[in-house]
C-alpha cells in the first residue's frame, strides 16, 4: 500500500537522523527467507472464515478499518509501550486524547479518568477491582445475561458474585436486587449483551441502585458506541443516563473499528486513581505528567493500539455523522433482516433486536425443543458446507424454561433451546441482507 510505504519512508528518515545502522541481527541477509515465510503465512491465513465479507454474520468479528491497521503497523515499527511516558511519549498523548473523546461521548466531565486496555475482559477486571476496593466485603451483582467474565473475575478478586435472574425478555429482576440490596456493593448493567444485544433498563436500575446505596458499573463493551445514535434506538432513554454510572467499559475493537487488543475503561470520578497507586523504581522519570501505568492494573500495553484508535477517530470522529453512520447502517441491517424473518413461512424471529444482533429459528414440523435444536444445527452446518455461496451464522443456547414462556406451543424435551444468531456489525450487511435471506431459504427449503 503506497500510503504505508510513504509513511514508513518518513519514519526511516527520522530513524536515520540518529545515524544509519548497518544491517545486523536476526534480519541480516534474511530478506528472501522473510518473503518466503510471509507467503506461507498468507496462505495459511486463507484458512479463516470470511470475516471480511457480509456472508459472515456469525460471531463479533470483522477486520479493522484500513486506517487502523495501517496506523498500528506503522507504530509497531517503533513498538512504543504506553505504560509510562518514558516508553511512548507520542502514543501516550494520543491515548489521553482518545480517552477524553470517549469520556465526552458518554457524558462524563473533566473530573473523569480512563485509559485503554488490552480488551474488555481486563477493562471489566479493573472496574470490578475498584468496586471491591470501594465496598470491601460486599458482592458484585450482574444479570444472567451478563458476560461470563464478571463471575470469573469475581473469583480472581475473591469477591462474592450474585447472579440476577431475568425474565423471558431478558430483563433483570429488580425485585431480586431489592431483596438482596444489603449484600450488593456494585451492580453491573449490560448495555448490549453479547448473546442477543439486549440493552438492560439502565434508567430503572439506577433508581433502584440509588435507593439502596449501590454503585453501578456499565458493561458497554459491545454496545457503548451506540450512544452516538441513541436517538435511533428503542432504548434511547437508557443511553441518556449512561453518565450516571460510576464506571463504563467500551471495546474499540468491536464497533470502534480497531484490531483486537483495544478495550477501554472509564471512571466518572478521577479519585479512584488512588486505588492504583504504586511505586516503580525505574519508569516514571521523564515527566511529572500522568503516566498511564499509574492508573492501570496492566503494565506494558501496546502504544500502537492508541495510535490506531487516534488515527481512526481523526478520520471518523465520535459523532452521529462520523463513526455513528456505520452503527446506523448496522441497525438498519438488523431491522431489515428481522422484517424479512417475520414474513417468511417456516421461520420465526425470537424477539425484536435492541441493537444489531438478531436471533431466530427454523420451525420444525413437530414442535418440540429437541427437534428445534436439530433443525437449527442443520441450518448452521449447511451454510459452511456451501463455502463461497453459503453463509456463516452462530448458535445461541437459551434455557428451555425461558424459551417456553415465549413459545409455549413447544414440547420441552431438552434443557436448552438452540437458536440461530446473526451479528450484523459490518456496514456491508445492510445491502447484503436480501442475499442472505435468499441463501437461507434456498439452502433450507420448507419441510
Q: What's the pLDDT tens digit per position in 369-384?
A: 999 999 999 999 999 9
How many Å apart are CA 180 and CA 174, to the nearest integer?
10
Q: Does residue 259 lie within any of the structural domains?
A: yes
In a domain, 253, yes or no: yes
User: Does 421 have pLDDT greater than 90?
Assistant: yes
Q: Where are the alpha helices (DSSP H) in 321-424?
A: 323-343, 369-385, 400-406
On whether residue 303 sits in a domain, the answer given is yes
Buried b (16+ CB within 10 A) or exposed e, 100-129: eebbebbbbeeebbbbbbbbbbbbbbbbbb
Domain boundary among 279, 294, 315: 315
CB contact at 8 A, 436 and 55? yes
pLDDT confidence of residue 111: 95
Asked if residue 342 and residue 301 are part of one domain, the reply reads no
Q: Is residue 65 part of a domain?
A: no
Residues 309 and 419 in one domain: no
Q: How confident is the model at residue 350 (pLDDT cuts 50, 70, 90)?
A: very high
Domain containing 87 — which CATH number? 3.40.640.10
d(CA 159, CA 138): 8
> What pLDDT score does 340 carry?
96
The CATH number that applies at residue 387 is 3.90.1150.170
More confident residue, 421 or 8: 421
Distance CA 39, CA 223 (A): 37
Cell digits of residue 376: 437449527
Domain that holds residue 429: 323-443
C-alpha cell at 384: 459452511
Is the residue at 46 inside a domain? no
- Under DSSP, the state recorded for 192 is S
Residues 305 and 339 occupy one common structural domain = no
Secondary element (H or E) of residue 366: none
Residue 389 included in any domain: yes
> Does 195 reside within a domain?
yes
How many whole angstroms separate alpha carbon 399 and alpha carbon 20? 64
Q: Check whether residue 252 and residue 384 sit in a common domain.
A: no
418: β partners: 397
Both 258 and 151 in a single domain? yes
Does 308 share its domain with 333? Answer: no
Residue 213 shares a structural domain with residue 334: no
Instruction: Give the residue from 272, 291, 315 where a domain finishes.
Output: 315
**Do 436 and 355 fall into the same domain?**
yes
One domain for residues 362 and 422: yes
The per-residue pLDDT for 290 is 72
| Mean pLDDT across 202-218 | 97
DSSP label at 29?
Answer: T
Q: Are residues 219 and 328 in the same domain?
A: no
> Please, which pLDDT band fits residue 46 given cuts at 50, 70 and 90?
very high
CA distance 445 to 283: 64
Residue 67 maps to a domain: no
Shared domain check, 260 and 134: yes
Note the pLDDT tens digit of each residue in 124-141.
Answer: 999 999 999 999 999 999
User: Cα dihedral sign for 337, 340, 344, 350?
Assistant: positive
Instruction: Please write the tens of the pLDDT for every residue from 16-30.
Output: 898 887 766 667 678
- Residue 379 and residue 298 share a domain: no
Q: Are 326 and 426 in contact (CB under 8 A)?
A: no
Domain count, the chain: 2
Which of 297, 315, 333 delimits the end of a domain?
315
How is the beta sheet containing 215-219 ordered, strand by strand?
113-117, 263-267, 247-250, 215-219, 184-190, 139-143, 161-164
**424-438, pLDDT tens digit by residue?**
999 999 999 999 999
Amino acid at each position: 500500500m503506497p500510503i504505508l510505504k510513504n509513511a514508513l519512508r518518513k519514519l526511516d528518515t527520522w530513524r536515520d537522523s540518529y545515524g544509519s545502522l548497518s544491517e545486523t541481527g536476526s534480519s541480516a541477509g534474511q530478506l528472501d527467507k522473510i518473503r518466503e515465510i510471509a507467503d506461507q503465512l498468507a496462505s495459511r491465513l486463507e484458512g479463516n472464515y470470511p470475516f471480511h465479507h457480509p456472508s459472515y454474520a456469525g460471531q463479533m468479528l470483522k477486520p479493522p478499518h484500513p486506517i487502523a491497521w495501517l496506523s498500528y503497523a506503522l507504530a509497531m515499527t517503533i513498538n512504543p509501550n504506553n505504560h509510562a511516558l518514558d516508553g511512548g511519549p507520542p502514543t501516550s498523548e494520543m491515548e489521553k486524547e482518545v480517552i477524553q473523546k470517549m469520556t465526552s461521548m458518554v457524558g462524563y466531565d473533566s473530573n473523569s479518568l480512563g485509559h485503554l486496555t488490552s480488551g474488555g475482559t481486563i477493562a471489566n477486571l479493573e472496574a470490578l477491582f475498584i468496586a471491591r476496593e470501594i465496598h470491601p466485603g460486599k458482592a458484585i451483582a450482574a444479570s444472567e445475561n451478563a458476560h461470563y467474565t464478571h463471575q470469573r473475575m469475581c473469583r480472581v478478586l475473591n469477591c462474592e458474585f450474585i447472579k440476577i435472574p431475568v425474565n423471558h425478555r431478558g430483563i433483570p429482576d429488580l425485585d431480586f436486587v431489592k431483596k438482596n440490596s444489603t449484600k450488593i456493593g456494585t451492580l453491573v448493567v449490560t448495555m448490549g449483551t453479547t448473546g442477543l444485544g439486549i440493552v438492560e433498563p439502565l434508567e430503572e436500575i439506577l433508581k433502584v441502585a440509588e435507593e439502596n446505596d449501590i454503585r453501578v458499573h456499565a458493561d458497554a463493551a459491545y454496545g457503548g458506541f451506540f450512544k452516538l445514535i441513541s436517538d435511533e434506538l428503542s432504548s434511547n432513554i437508557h443511553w441518556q443516563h449512561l453518565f450516571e454510572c460510576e464506571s463504563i467499559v467500551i471495546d474499540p475493537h468491536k464497533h470502534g473499528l480497531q484490531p483486537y487488543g483495544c478495550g477501554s475503561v472509564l471512571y466518572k470520578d478521577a479519585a479512584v486513581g488512588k486505588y492504583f497507586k504504586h511505586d516503580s523504581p525505574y519508569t516514571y522519570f521523564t515527566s511529572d505528567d500522568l503516566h498511564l501505568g499509574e492508573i492501570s492494573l496492566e503494565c506494558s500495553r501496546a502504544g500502537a493500539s492508541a495510535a490506531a484508535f487516534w488515527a481512526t477517530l481523526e478520520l471518523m470522529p465520535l459523532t452521529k455523522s462520523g463513526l455513528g453512520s456505520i452503527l446506523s447502517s448496522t441497525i438498519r441491517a438488523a431491522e431489515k433482516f428481522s422484517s424479512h424473518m417475520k414474513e417468511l413461512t417456516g421461520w420465526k424471529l425470537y424477539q425484536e433486536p435492541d441493537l444489531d444482533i438478531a436471533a431466530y429459528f427454523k420451525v420444525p414440523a413437530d414442535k418440540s425443543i429437541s427437534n428445534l435444536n436439530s433443525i437449527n444445527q442443520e441450518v448452521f452446518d449447511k451454510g459452511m458446507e456451501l463455502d463461497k455461496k453459503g453463509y456463516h451464522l452462530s448458535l445461541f443456547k437459551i434455557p428451555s424454561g425461558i424459551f417456553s414462556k415465549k413459545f409455549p406451543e413447544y414440547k420441552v424435551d431438552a434443557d436448552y433451546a438452540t437458536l440461530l444468531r446473526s451479528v450484523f456489525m459490518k456496514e456491508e450487511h445492510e445491502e447484503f441482507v436480501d442475499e442472505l435471506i435468499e441463501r437461507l431459504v434456498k439452502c433450507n427449503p420448507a419441510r
